[in-house]
Amino acid sequence: MDGSCSEFHIGVDTGRNSKYTSEKKKKTDRSYFRISHFTFEPYNGPRWEVPSGIKVSPSVRYKFEKCSTCKITEVFSKIHMESTQNVYNLQGYANPWNLFNSDFSKIPKIKSYLTSLRDKDVNEWKKVASIYHKLFKVVRFMNKLVNLRRFRICLKKQINTEDIVTLEVPRKPVYVVNFSKRCTYVYEAETLRRTINNKLLTSEWMFENPQYPLNILSNEPLTTGQCISIYNQLKSYGVFSWIFDRFRSCDFCLNKFKMRFRPQLKVEAIESHFRNEIENSKETVMEFFEANAIDYGMIDDQIAKFKDFFHLCPNAQYIQTLRSMAKRYYIAYELHDIPTVTLISLEVKRYIDRYLNEN
């Protein structure tokens, strides 16, 4: 053999393919690949299952299992979406060719075959919807039985027999059932109505601040189910509450109630301020008079003299008239009733002129 030729040795790296070898190592090295931090978490929640007494084909079972993880409110929308898709499948596998829009669909046999596939798909989804209808009917029936039993258990454990306010056995009893504690409270209908009204009409210094109604004895907020039950029981006795009726129209949602009926709540807060907050309302009336007196040119000595008269004779007819005008003014201002605001301003001017003439 010629000496100029390099010798071949088994197991010895000649260095010819060093670049290829390094690239191969780089490709096969795990650190070269990008590591994903995605973690697959399988669904472990409840699933709907085909009842054992109903025999279905594999394709119907496959379609049924597509909706097995959906909630009751989502199942039929899911079925409608799946059944109205413009994809016709065979045993659950999508057809990648839209044959209905191609020239193949003009061939009678192909057209007949595709139509049969479509009809079969629609009928299977109808079968799935029928199974879910039966399942949900059984679920609703069983829930009624369970709730009825829970209700009877709660009625056996009645916390009180006398109304907390009247201290007598209620003549128009309203039952408040607490399923979590398995007990029942009973109140007089009128007592519960006033309590709910006071909470919904809570205010401070003419600012509305409605609170969610509470269970009087447990001092816990009433649940939506309890509110519905109380409303129906009050209605059966003919006990009406306009504010509770508006609360019901908001689905017993306090935030929605505040936004929708803010003007009415504000007016009730002003009425309550002048009716119940005696000392605070005196200060409000005095501020109302002082602001108008300065605008109409009363001097400080005359304003101070009126303040002394106001504190000495708070129940005088003269003061009651001013009190009534102040309340009407704030209500009209809140309701953006410009004509009434203007009229009250003229009445206040005549009131001040009369006071100046008499003093």
* Burial state string for 161-187 with b = 16 or more CB within 10 A and e = fewer than 16: eebeeeeeebebebbbbbeeeebbbbb
Lowest mean pLDDT among 55-69, 134-148, 270-284: 270-284
Q: What is the pTM of this model?
A: 0.64
What is the reported pLDDT for 88? 47
Residues in the chain: 359
| 3-state SS track over 69-97 | CCCHHHHHHHHHHHHCCCCCEECCEECCC
Residue 276 tokens read as 């119940």
The DSSP bridge pattern shows strands 183-188 and 89-90 to be unpaired
pLDDT (tens digit per residue) in 314-348: 777 778 888 888 899 999 988 888 898 889 888 88
Answer for the pair 353, 298: CB distance below 8 angstroms, yes or no: no
Eight-state DSSP code of residue 208: E
Q: Are 216 and 230 in contact (CB under 8 A)?
A: no
Mean local confidence (pLDDT), 72-81: 87
The pLDDT of residue 86 is above 70: no
19 — pLDDT class (breaks 50, 70, 90): low
For the segment 222-240, the average pLDDT, to the nearest whole number, is 92
Question: Is the predicted pLDDT of residue 18 greater than 80, yes or no?
Answer: no
In tens, the pLDDT along 33-60 reads 555 666 777 778 888 888 888 888 999 9
Indicate if the pLDDT at residue 173 is higher than 60. yes
Q: Residue 113 pLDDT > 50, yes or no?
A: yes
Domain boundaries, the chain: 58-148, 173-260, 277-358
State how far Cα 305 lies from the chain centre.
Answer: 55
- Average pLDDT along the chain: 81
16-21: average pLDDT: 53
Looking at residue 243, what is its pLDDT? 92
Q: How far apart are CA 270 and CA 258, in angstroms?
A: 16
- Asked if pLDDT for residue 65 goes beyond 70, the answer is yes
Using 50, 70 and 90 to split pLDDT, how confident is the model at 97?
A: very low
Which tokens in the block code for residue 71? 């909630």
